[in-house]
Amino acid sequence: MAEALAIPVTQRCEGCGSELAPRLLTCPSCRKLVHGQTLKQLAADAQAAADRGAPTEALSLWRQALDLLPQGTAQHAQVLARVEGLSQQVDALGLKVPLAEAGRRRSGMPKVLASMGALGLLLWKFKFVLVLFLGKGKLLLLGLTKASTVFSMALAAGVYWTAWGWPFALGLVACIYVHEMGHVAALRNFGMQASAPMFIPGLGAFVRLKQSPVDGREDARVGLAGPIWGSAAAVAAMVAALVTGWKGLGAIAHAAAWLNLFNLLPVWQLDGGRGFRALARKQRWMAVAVLGATWFLTGESLLLLIGAAAAYRAFASPAPEEGDTRTLVEYSVLVAGLGALGHAAKLWTGAAL
C-alpha cells in the first residue's frame, strides 16, 4: 500500500486572505502581522507572568514574541526594549530572589525558627538557597535525558579512553558536560532556547543557541557561565584527589582547569570572546594585567597566548564606551583561579600534562 503524502496546509493572511509563503512575518499585500493572534496571547501571558513575580518566564515569552516580529518595525523595537529591561532585572536579581523572598516571608516561618531570632532567619534563608542548588542538580540530570547528548558523550569518552584510559576519559567528559550545562543554565535564566550539549571528540562540546542575546552584557553572562561551572567541576576533582590521594583525579582537575582556561581566549565564539564584548577598552587592559600577573605567578604558558589575544582586543578591536564591571570581575577571578588551580594540580600530580 502506498503511503499518503502529507500536504502542508496553506497559510492565509487573517486580514486579506492572501496566501503566505512560509516564514513570512508580514503579509506582502496588506502588511498585517502574520502572527497577530499569537503575539497577543504571548503578550498577555508575559504580562501575567510579570504580575505574579516570574520575570524569567515573562522574559522567555517576550523573546518568543520578538522572533515573530519583523526587525525595523515599531513593534519589534518595543518588544526588544521589554526584553532588555527584563534581562537586566533577572541579571540584577540573581541569588537575591530566594533570599529576599525568605526575608519577606519571615512572618510565615515555623515558630521554632522565629523564636531563634537572627539565627532562625538565617536558617530560613538557607532553605531557599538549598532549593536553588538542588535545582541546579536537577538541571544537570536533565541534560542526561537527551539521547543525542548521551550518545555523543559516550563517543567522546570512547576516543579519550583509547588514549588515556577509562577513569581519565570519564572524568574529563563529566567536567566538559558540567561546563556546557553552565551555558544551558544561563540561557534558561535569560529565557533563551538552546539545544542540548553535543560532544565532538577531541574538540570538546557545544550548545547551539536558538535565540540570540540582546546585548554584550547578556552574551557575557552566557559565555562565562560555562567556565564558572567548569571551574566548580575542576575544584571538585581536585578536592577529591586530595581526599583520596588518587593522582588520576589530580590529572583530571588539571585538564579541566586547562580546558576552561583555554575557553577564556578572547577570540571568535569562545567564552572569553563573548566576555570581552562587554568590556570597555580600559577594562580590557585591566584583564590583560591580570593575565600577565597570573602568568608571572604560575608560569602557565597558555596565559601568554590568552594575554596576547587580549592585548590585541584591547588595542585594535571596537569596544563599548561603558563596560560591564561584573564581567571584568568574573573574567579576572576565572583567570586567576583557573591558573592557580591548574598550577597546583600540576605540582600535586608531579606530571606536566
pLDDT of residue 116: 47
Instruction: Give pLDDT tens digits for 101-122.
Output: 334 444 454 554 444 444 444 4
Looking at the whole model, is its pTM more than 0.85? no
- Do residues 299 and 180 both lie within one domain? yes
Q: Write the DSSP assignment of 218-285 as a string of letters.
A: HHHHHHHHHHHHHHHHHHHHHHHHHHH--HHHHHHHHHHHHHHHHTT--STTSHHHHHHTT--HHHHH
Instruction: Give pLDDT tens digits for 201-231.
Output: 877 888 888 788 888 999 999 999 999 999 9
Q: What is the CATH number of the domain that holds 66?
A: 1.20.58
Cβ neighbours, 10 Å, residue 33: 20
Domain final position from 77, 93, 109: 93
Q: Which residue has the cell 538557597?
A: 129
Residue 26's beta-bridge partner residues?
A: 33
Spatial separation of the C-alpha atoms in residues 42 and 57, rounded to whole Å: 11
> Could you tell me which of 330, 337, 322 has the C-alpha nearest to residue 278?
322
> How many domains does the chain fold into?
2
Lowest mean pLDDT among 90-99, 157-166, 235-244, 276-285: 90-99
Question: Would you say residue 340 has pLDDT above 50?
Answer: yes
Average pLDDT, the chain: 81
Q: Which residue has the higher pLDDT, 9 or 268?
A: 268
Is residue 76 in some structural domain?
yes
Domain final position from 93, 117, 132: 93
- Do residues 156 and 226 both lie within one domain? yes
Q: Do the beta carbons of residue 278 and residue 326 sit within 8 Å?
A: no
Q: Which domain holds residue 329?
A: 144-205+213-349
Q: Which residue has the higher pLDDT, 64 or 261?
A: 261
Instruction: Give pLDDT tens digits for 265-309.
Output: 999 889 999 999 999 999 999 999 999 999 999 999 999 999 999
